[in-house]
Amino acid sequence: MHKYSHPDLAKRPAIFSFCTDPDTLGQFQWLACYLTTGKHMGFYISFGTVLLLLAVTAPTALLFGFGGASAARSTFLPLRWFGKAYIAIVRGVPDIAFFLFFVIALDQGIEWLRHQVKCPDWDQPIRQGNDFVVCAAAKMPLGNAPQWIHEVYGFGLAVVTFAIVFGAFAANVMYGAMRAVPRAQLETAEAYGMTPRQTFWRILVPQMWVYALPGLGNLWMVLIKATPLLFLLGVEDIVYWARELGGAKTARFTDYPHADWRLWYFFVLLLFYLGFTRVSEIYLDRIMKKLTHGQATTGGEAQRKGAAT
Amino acid sequence: MKKLLITTAALALSATSLLAADVVRLGTEGAYPPYNFINDKGEVDGFERELGDELCKRAELTCEWVTNDWDSIIPNLVSGNYDAIIAGMSITDERKEKIDFSENYTQPDPSAYMALAGSSPDLAGGVIAAQAATIQAAHVTESGATLVEFASPDETVAAVRNGEADAVLADKAFLAPIAEENADLELTGDDVLIGGGIGLGIRKSDNALRDKFTAAIQSMKADGSLNELIKKWLPDSAPF
């Protein structure tokens, strides 16, 4: 059967020099060559993509959550409505629907704004049936931008979407945590003559974290495993690659034919996720210990007694 | 705010001068050999890779390949994330309500059933696997069999192997190499002809691009180069 590879693509040398004809190799070398194909490099890089996404998304979602929670307990009525509506609506919409439609809507919203600024004398309608047509200069990113810009933009949209979704859950957790801070603490602050703003920043916020952390830790665990949603946006994550690489390959389309190996690839992902979860648990425990220190909670009391004896 | 406006204006100016180089983004699935798949180097490869590159050359377009999930491949086209779908997508009336197609670049392709070797599944009343939102899935529903849908072509084959489905219905060009190389699987029953051939999916508002691709396809049909590609990649398909 004819083996075909695109002429432009055949130029990159393999990592190991013996990888020229995989059919003749021993088992160990075959595996070494197989695991260093360009496709596998894509798989390894995607671990970095996922970690980067988490590193950027977690603080952003926390910020959204803090904003949402503060808004939801604001004394200014419209702001309170806004905060509560954000928490209720986003938590109620399924993630997958959010990722399919919200992202497209967000992208179109950005392009619509750019269209208004850049092409004021455009005479065609923007909505033509199902199509969304803006002038070429309003495209985001521009149609002729290199592929990596498209990928960075897609990644950026993913971060914003994840932050909005997880921010709503975080907002709910923090809203509860703010209410869990003992009322006596706030009354004492008022008695000392602190303004509401001072009470919020100096008394409420430092004390609420200890109540928020278990809930936020949960969210972090869920976020770690939510990354397969990325491929809906065209960002290739680890689960996409595991599925793609693990699927059965026939000799006609690859130098490395194999049966259905998805089980092995998913096993690797399992180890990755379990390891990541364990590391997260260790760090969350440490943070918890630190936050509990000196707090008017049973945990804080236990720490105080432990130090005294 | 004023500063922002000035920056955007400057960006707009530099943008218009860049627009001379026309880049057309081609969206594909990358999971459906021999039509399109990701090769060992991690690049899009297959019948449609070779065809698309040649079409772009003839239409004098600079093309860029993008992979996208099958489920969201049409929504992402109409919202402008890429400009054409070239993903083994058959021309059907249902899809034509949402998008336009270029002239077809394959004949209506035979679809085939594949089942475990030695089993004789009930194709009209059994459980048949197909990829979701495909012409094959629609065909199974009409035939009276029970349809189980999967998001990717790989999973439909896996479903037959583990007994979840009695057989899978897919393009014959996709199933034939799999049946050939796996002793435990075989093609079964008669081929079925569904769909109106495969074409490039284009936004309805993008007539200029559609006409360019159609002209390029016609020129490849006229000089026989399309038939050569079909012979090389899709040996079971009828040439033009």
For B64-113, the pLDDT digits (tens) are: 898 888 888 998 898 888 899 999 999 988 899 999 999 999 988 789 99
Chain B positions in Cβ-Cβ contact with residue A241 (cut-off 8 Å): none
Residue B212: in which H helix or E strand, if any? helix B207-222
Q: Which residues have C-beta within 8 Å of that of residue A5, sequence separation ≥ 6?
A: B39, B40, B41, B45
What is the three-class DSSP state of B116?
Answer: strand
CB contact under 8 A, A244 and B30: yes
- Which residue is associated with the tokens 């850049």? A118
Mean pLDDT of B197-201: 93
Range in A228-232, B159-163, B171-175 the model is least confident about = A228-232
Angle (CA) A173 A179 A182, round 5°: 130
pLDDT digits (tens, 9 = 90+) for A210-244: 999 999 999 999 998 888 777 777 678 888 888 88
Closest residue to B49, CB basis, from A6, A128, A255: A6
Among the partner-chain residues B16, B72, B233, the one whose CB lies closest to the CB of A137 is: B16
d(C-alpha A167, C-alpha B107), whole Å? 50
Q: Do A144 and B177 touch (CB under 8 A)?
A: no
DSSP-assigned beta bridge partners for residue A227 = none
- Report which of A244, A217, A240 is spatially closest to residue A229, judged by C-alpha positions: A240
Please report the pLDDT score of residue A305 as a whole number: 83
Domains assigned to chain B: 17-107+197-233 (3.40.190.10), 110-193 (3.40.190.10)
pLDDT at B192: 87
Residue A59 β-bridge partners: none
Cβ atoms < 10 Å from Cβ of A105: 13
Point out the residue among A131, A144, A251 whose CB comes nearest to the CB of B19: A144
Q: How many other C-beta atoms are found inside a 10 Å radius of the C-beta of residue B122?
A: 12
Give contacts of A253 with chain B, Cβ < 8 Å.
33-34, 37, 39, 45-46, 177
- Of B33, B43, B181, nearest to A9 by CB-CB distance is B43
Query: What is the Cα–Cα distance from B124 to A241, expressed in whole angstroms?
Result: 35
Instruction: Write the DSSP assignment of chain A as a string of letters.
Output: ------GGGGGSPPSSGGGG-GGG--HHHHHHHHTTSHHHHHHHHHHHHHHHHHHHHHHHHHHHHHHHHHHHT-SSHHHHHHHHHHHHHHHHS-HHHIIIIIHHHHHHHHHHHHHHHH-TT--S-SEETTEE---GGG-SS-TTS-HHHHHHHHHHHHHHHHHHHHHHHHHHHHHHHHHHS-HHHHHHHHHTT--HHHIIIIIIHHHHHHHHHHHHHHHHHHHHTTGGGGGGGT---HHHHHHHHHS-B-TTT-SS-BS--HHHHHHHHHHHHHHHHHHHHHHHHHHHHHHHTT-SSHHHHHHHHHHH-
Chain A residue with CA closest to B202: the answer is A131
Structure ipTM over 0.90, yes or no: no
- CA B148 – CA B140 distance, rounded (Å): 9
- For residue A255, the chain B residues in CB contact (below 8 A) are 40
Q: Hey, are the CB atoms on A6 and B62 less than 8 Å from each other?
A: no
- The predicted pLDDT at position A204 comes to 93
Question: Hey, which residues does B66 pair with through a beta bridge?
Answer: B27
Residues of A whose CB is below 8 A from B22: 143-144
Burial (Cβ within 10 Å: 0-12, 13-18, ≥19) of residue A178: buried
pLDDT at A225: 86
CB contact under 8 A, B49 and A231: no
Contact A147 B18 (CB under 8 A): no
Q: Residue A95 burial by CB count (10 A; 0-12/13-18/19+): exposed, middle or buried? A: middle
Tell me how close the Cα of A128 comes to any Cα of chain B, in angstroms. Answer: 7
Three-state DSSP class for B233?
helix
Size of interface A-B (CB pairs under 8 A): 144
Output the pLDDT for position A108: 86
Question: Quick check: A136 and B71 CB within 8 A?
Answer: no
Q: Which tokens sit at A17? A: 């020099």
- Token pair for B138: 């629609």
Provide the 10 A C-beta neighbour count for residue B135: 24
Helices A38-72 & A205-224 angle (0-180, nearest 10): 150
Model confidence, pTM: 0.76
What's the mean pLDDT when you consider all of chain B? 86
Q: Are strands B23-28 and B31-32 parallel, antiparallel or unpaired?
A: unpaired
Q: Which of B2, B81, B152, B234 to probe by mutation at the A interface, max A CB count within 10 Å?
A: B81
Residue-level pLDDT at A308: 67
**A48-246 belongs to CATH 1.10.3720.10:** yes
Instruction: Using an 8 Å CB-CB cutoff, list chain A residues near B66.
Output: 147, 150, 234
> In angstroms, rounded to a whole number, what is the distance separating the alpha carbons of residues A263 and A46?
19
Q: Are B37 and A134 in contact (CB < 8 Å)?
A: no
- Looking at the complex, report in whole angstroms how far the Cα of residue B68 sits from the nearest Cα belonging to chain A: 5
Are A106 and A162 contacting, i.e. CB atoms less than 8 angstroms apart? no
User: Cβ–Cβ of B79/A107 closer than 8 Å?
Assistant: yes
All residues of chain A having their beta carbon less than 8 Å from the beta carbon of residue B81 are 107, 234
Give the model's pLDDT for residue A309: 61
Confidence of residue B1 (pLDDT cuts 50, 70, 90): very low
Give the residues of chain A that fall short of pLDDT 70: 1-17, 20, 22-23, 234, 308-309
